[in-house]
Structure 1
Amino acid sequence: MDSIPLISWFAQHKDPNKLFSGTTWKYIGEDRTVRLAKADASGAGAHLHTVSIGGHRHSVGIGAHSHSVSGVTENTGLGVELTVKNSYIKLMGWYRIS
Structure 2
Amino acid sequence: MTTAFCLSTAVMAAQSYKKDSLQIKSYATIEYSNNEVKDIELLKVLCDYCSDFQKKIIGEEVLRRSFNERFDPKNRIKNGKKKLAIYIRIAKKDLAAIKEE
TM-score by length of 1: 0.27
Pick the structure with more helix per residue: 2
Give the number of the structure whose alpha-carbon radius of gyration is greater. 1
